[in-house]
């Protein structure tokens, strides 16, 4: 009987351990570094690793910073400002070297000579290198506040 109870408890422990969630809320120093990087971000601010994958507003994919800049020029798109909406950041750190970041931005653009202001939900992935954090992938989705009001 003791063997059966022990075996049952051992199996239960294995099942529980296999379903345990990865703790991505730790790494306070790395979290602060990512928050600082987001606050410094904006037009003309380089935060990519150079070879990052970017998905543009029309679903176009760029496989380097140079391709992304060329795509923006082709669409006659100029970023005027990009500001993080306070309290909108969700940062997950994995093993202290990878970060998945979701945040809301107030964006001001000029597209083909026309000023546009919009809210964009960003999803960015960062990797920590010897010189610091850099973005390896990013995508933004315009938030339609008439359908889905933005609440902090």
30-75, pLDDT tens digit by residue? Answer: 999 998 888 776 555 677 777 788 887 667 788 887 887 788 778 7
Q: What domain range includes position 42?
A: 23-142
Beta carbons within 8 Å of 39's beta carbon, 6+ residues apart: 84
Cβ-contact 114, 129 below 8 angstroms: no
Is 4 domain-assigned?
no
Residue 15 lies in a domain: no
Q: Is residue 65 part of a domain?
A: yes
Which CATH number does the domain housing residue 57 bear? Answer: 3.10.450.50
Give the count of domains, the chain: 1
> What mean pLDDT comes out for the span 137-146?
84
Given a contact cutoff of 8 angstroms between Cβ atoms, the answer to whether 91 and 59 are in contact is no
Give the confidence band of 100 by pLDDT, cuts at 50, 70, 90: very high
Q: Is residue 111 part of a domain?
A: yes
148 falls within a domain: no
Which runs of consecutive H residues, i.e. helices, occur in 41-142?
65-74
pTM of the predicted model as reported, rounded to 2 decimal places: 0.73
């Amino acid at each position: 009987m003791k063997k059966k109870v022990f075996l049952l408890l051992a199996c239960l422990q294995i099942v529980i351990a296999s379903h345990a969630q990865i703790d991505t809320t730790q790494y306070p120093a790395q979290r602060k570094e990512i928050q600082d990087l987001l606050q410094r971000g904006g037009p003309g601010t380089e935060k990519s690793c150079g070879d990052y994958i970017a998905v543009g507003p029309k679903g176009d994919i760029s496989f380097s910073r140079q391709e992304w800049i060329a795509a923006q020029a082709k669409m006659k798109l100029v970023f005027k400002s990009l500001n993080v909406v306070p309290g909108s950041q969700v940062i997950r750190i994995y093993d202290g070297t990878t970060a998945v970041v979701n945040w809301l931005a107030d964006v001001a653009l000029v597209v083909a000579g026309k000023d546009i202001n919009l809210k964009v939900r960003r999803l960015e992935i960062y990797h920590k290198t010897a010189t610091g954090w850099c973005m390896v992938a990013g995508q933004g989705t315009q938030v339609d506040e008439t359908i889905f009001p933005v609440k902090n």
